[in-house]
Structure 1
Amino acid sequence: MPHPVDVPHHPADLRHPVDQTLPPGKLLTSGLQHVAAMYAGVVAPPLVVGAGVGLSTADITFLMSASLFTAGLATLLQTLGIWKIGARLPFVNGVSFAGVAPMLAIAKSAAPGHALPVIYGSVIVAGVLGFALAPYFCRLIRFFPPVVTGSVITLIGISLLPVAINWAQGGNAQDPGYASTSNIALAAATLVIVLVLRRVLTGFLQQIAILIGMLLGTLVAVPLGKTDFGAIGQAGIIGFPTPFHFGAPEFSVAAIISMCVVMLVCMTESTADILALAKIVDKPADAAVLTAGIRADALGSAVSPLFNGFACSAFAQNIGLVAITKVRSRFVVAAGGGILVLLGLCPALASVIALVPQPVLGGAGLVLFGSVAASGVRTLADAGLDDGNNLLIVAASLGVGVIPVVSDTFYAHFDEHLRIILDSGISTGCLVAVVLNLAFNHLGRGGVPAVGESEQELGRPRQAAGAQVVEH
């Protein structure tokens, strides 16, 4: 019998890398790396909302575990899929930051003790609405040629960089040690460790260089007193997120309208994220994939309140991890989803992940989020920027998109509901790019692309035709 190496090809090798599985060890460690990259983003919203509604420390911890559990369920739904639900891409879902400010506003207007039930009721309705709108919303794919997707992907990376910078400083501006030289030095050391590991390691170890870098960064933080082990002793071994722990959902029209707007923002960002990830893994997303992906977001959001979670959406930071590691298997992220479920069921395990100090996350985040922006730049290289119109589209969309990144008070005097959209540079930049692309490259030049265009035509920069008209 020939040695396995001599066997020409196993049928599984013919599958796209996205659909290939990895050995259990690689599957687990790569999945853990995804969890480490997005953990802080999952627990931050329940921390903020829990404190905002006046929950006790025990209830906030419960809220964090519930968010981890529901994020895991949503990630499994997104990666593995059922029926026409789930993009079946290496796509991580978690608690959306877009809903934090509206939920705090809802909490202020709700009767004492009813804030979370009202929030959960509005999230359920918004999730159902998003699920129903998904097939129609995803027809917008024809408005996302490279000049648009490249601008949006670049904005995703730029918008995330302040998060990494905040982590590098300590994560909490109220902390006396915030932005201390020791915090920044720890973040810098983690960044250097990750870069060195990427340079000297090979094979699978190179792929999990960020995970190893965060582990080494945490070890460096221990003698510096940057790691808090107290949470481990206080956490329970098992803790199931009891359904409707904070009360049955309540339905308020104003709260529902507010969260429906949030859902539309999440759908817009998820559309851009799916297109970005599909480009990175070399498996272009058509309207059916976008519809399935947004359905998973919406269904995950509708089900999350049952287990005391919040609205779910795509986590862009994990797109950067896929871009860096080149590990494209969706089953790796599914493993990460399974780990998130276990973390939600075992607060003690969740507290171990929480040992990673914020500055260490910041150092690794600079690489992760910067790589997303770099992927956008790479996409823009195919967008025909030698055409002045396309260059203008990119310039305007990036300019508008970075406004909330560089100034958190720019829209301070606008209506609070309108700010939900304006404060998301990804959403505003995407809207500007789509509108300008239509104005400069479609209107009066053959019209808007037809819904029935093929996947290849959808992916080809439509604006090239416009450039030819100018030349003639």
Structure 2
Amino acid sequence: MSRVSDAPAVDAVLPVSQLLLFGLQHVLVMAAVPITSVFLVAKALGLPAALTVNLISATFLLCGVGTLLQSFGPWKFGARLPFVMVPGGAPIVMFVTIAQQRDLQTASGAVILTALFYFLVLPVFARCLRYFPKIVIGTLLLLVSINLVKVYGGIIAGKAGSPTFADPANIGLALATIGFTVLFARLFKGMLGQLAVLLGLLAGTLLAAACGLMDFGSVAAGPLWSAPTLLPFGMPHFDVVAAVPLLIFSVISMVEATGQTVAVAEVVGRRIDPREAVPRTIRGDALVSLAGGLFGTSMIITSGENIGIVRATNVRSRYVTATAGAILILIALSAPLGRLASAIPSAVVGGTAMVVFAIIGTMGIDMLRKVDLHERGNMFVLAGALTMGLLPIVVPGLYSRFPDTLQLVLGNGLAMGSLTAVVLNMVFNRVHAERTEMAPASQA
């Protein structure tokens, strides 16, 4: 066992008690994502209860296996960084759309085709990593933060037009959870300080129970064990045209994975070569997404949540996320644990997530501080990227009258912000650098 410090190193193996506590903290912060993703699919497609339970089990299982893969990184699959894998938000919407337009078999086939496309495109993408300097990564982190805060703010508020929209009880519960988390971070030091996110979530859960806002009736009902079924929708259908939205997203996902890998490596203090580490992350995403297509889920990928939780807790050990992966697998196989996780009110999870995701934004700001924004080119790169990235986030439906193919890219703030930052950085900074290099030669 390694000696424990306030900021354990990425390769530190902590005592079992700490691994379990810190791992549980990661799981509880992330648990809402797989649960809500399956409920979204089930509700949109009218899936029966038994199939919904099966998909929840499959999603938790693949998240756990993927987390272990990213944490340990065997055979160049996985970054060997503290990553927890979850279903991607945009791919879920695309999965549902494909299933509604075609069928579930075609949706599963599209996930499999996209996972294979990762492997095909990765060698080309790896050569383009030099176009992702700090100004691009910092902008991406800032946009990720704003987008995630918006998404989880929507989860707290509820669906507009519904009877429970903007329910003061839910909003108050979320604000109380945020307050608990910040209070614990201020009061506690050492290990308890690192558990501030978990303690805030537990305090919010206890408050919800005391106010009668939790239902434990379904926890004990049902089977004790559950196991996912291979090919729950039958044999996949492979339709490249139907898969185009997911294929385009895969490139966007690679850009996001680049930012996450660089940012998490910087947080944990590991010096990496992005040309080696980023492809490892992407290979892990591709492999687990391939398995997801076989088990009826959408794409399972690394997510921006990882950056926030690592920075918020200052727990850097990849063995903590490996423990989180083992807990996710246990939840997948133990039906009562899965039902207990789903019983935590979305307002509590949303409040916890808001703190974590806002911290991602502070990391983006910190990275941008290292860029000379007094330099005219950098100023316009950032301004242009934020303009194109924030527009579809703060003005939903801005591009709704554009062709569907264009909406897929233009309507994705992360994609547009990142793409704009890359292009403008090449236009301003590379052209400027080339002119600077040529100047002495022209004077000779």
Is 1:213 equivalent to 2:172 in the alignment? no
Q: Does the CA contact (< 8 Å) of 1:275 and 1:284 recur in 2?
A: no
Q: Does the CA contact (< 8 Å) of 2:142 and 2:364 recur in 1?
A: yes
1:26 aligned partner: 18
Deviation at 1:299, TM superposition (A): 1.0
One of 339, 342, 349 as aligned partner of 1:361: 349
Aligned residues: 437
Deviation at 1:32, TM superposition (A): 1.1
One of 71, 88, 107 as aligned partner of 2:63: 71
Alpha carbons of structure 1 residues 175 and 210: separation in structure 2 relative to 1, 3 Å: farther
Alpha carbons of structure 1 residues 244 and 419: separation in structure 2 relative to 1, 3 Å: same
Give the superposed CA RMSD.
Answer: 2.3
Unaligned runs of 5+ in 2: none
Helix, strand or coil at the partner of 2:10: helix
* C-alpha distance in 1 between matches for 2:143 and 2:246: 24
Q: Does the CA contact (< 8 Å) of 2:96 and 2:107 recur in 1?
A: no
1:17 aligned partner: 9
One of 258, 268, 272 as aligned partner of 2:255: 268
1:131-142 equivalences in 2 (<5 Å): 131-142=119-130
Q: Does the CA contact (< 8 Å) of 2:173 and 2:347 recur in 1?
A: yes
Q: Does the CA contact (< 8 Å) of 1:214 and 1:356 recur in 2?
A: no
* C-alpha distance in 1 between matches for 2:331 and 2:50: 16
Question: Over residues 151-199 of structure 1, what are the superposed CA-to-partner deviations in whole Å (9 max), with x where a residue is unaligned?
Answer: 1111111111112322332x44465223122211111111111111111
Is 1:432 equivalent to 2:404 in the alignment? no
Aligned AA for 1:322? V
Alpha carbons of structure 1 residues 235 and 427: separation in structure 2 relative to 1, 3 Å: farther
* C-alpha distance in 2 between matches for 1:167 and 1:102: 19
Question: Over residues 217-267 of structure 1, what are the superposed CA-to-partner deviations in whole Å (9 max), with x where a residue is unaligned?
Answer: 111011322212133133421111011122121112322333212222222
Aligned AA for 1:93? M
Is 1:377 equivalent to 2:365 in the alignment? yes
Is 1:188 equivalent to 2:175 in the alignment? yes
Is 1:297 equivalent to 2:289 in the alignment? no
Deviation at 1:444, TM superposition (A): 5.1
2:230 aligned partner: 243
Deviation at 1:417, TM superposition (A): 3.1
1:323 aligned partner: 311
* C-alpha distance in 1 between matches for 2:336 and 2:118: 34
Q: Does the CA contact (< 8 Å) of 2:200 and 2:352 recur in 1?
A: yes
1:24-423 equivalences in 2 (<5 Å): 24-110=16-102, 115-169=103-157, 171-173=158-160, 175-285=162-272, 286-423=274-411
1:460 aligned partner: none
* C-alpha distance in 2 between matches for 1:94 and 1:308: 15
Unaligned runs of 5+ in 1: 5-9, 448-464
* C-alpha distance in 2 between matches for 1:29 and 1:417: 45
Question: Over residues 87-127 of structure 1, what are the superposed CA-to-partner deviations in whole Å (9 max), with x where a residue is unaligned?
Answer: 111112111112123222212222xxxx2221111111110
* C-alpha distance in 2 between matches for 1:167 and 1:26: 31
Q: Does the CA contact (< 8 Å) of 2:26 and 2:324 recur in 1?
A: yes
Helix, strand or coil at the partner of 1:442: helix
Deviation at 1:48, TM superposition (A): 1.6
Helix, strand or coil at the partner of 1:126: helix
* C-alpha distance in 1 between matches for 2:412 and 2:36: 17
Helix, strand or coil at the partner of 2:343: coil
Q: Does the CA contact (< 8 Å) of 1:70 and 1:309 recur in 2?
A: no
* C-alpha distance in 2 between matches for 1:72 and 1:172: 30
Aligned AA for 1:382? K
* C-alpha distance in 2 between matches for 1:391 and 1:294: 30
The alignment's TM-score, normalised by the length of structure 2, stands at 0.93
* C-alpha distance in 2 between matches for 1:338 and 1:117: 30
Greater mean alpha carbon deviation, residues 140-149 or residues 419-428: 419-428
Q: Does the CA contact (< 8 Å) of 1:21 and 1:329 recur in 2?
A: yes
* C-alpha distance in 2 between matches for 1:219 and 1:31: 20
Aligned AA for 1:269? E
Deviation at 1:331, TM superposition (A): 1.1
* C-alpha distance in 2 between matches for 1:400 and 1:219: 42
Deviation at 1:297, TM superposition (A): 0.5
Q: Does the CA contact (< 8 Å) of 1:90 and 1:330 recur in 2?
A: yes
Deviation at 1:301, TM superposition (A): 0.7
Q: Does the CA contact (< 8 Å) of 2:143 and 2:417 recur in 1?
A: yes
* C-alpha distance in 1 between matches for 2:93 and 2:152: 20
Helix, strand or coil at the partner of 1:136: helix
* C-alpha distance in 2 between matches for 1:238 and 1:415: 46
Helix, strand or coil at the partner of 1:91: coil
Deviation at 1:360, TM superposition (A): 1.1
Q: Does the CA contact (< 8 Å) of 1:96 and 1:266 recur in 2?
A: no
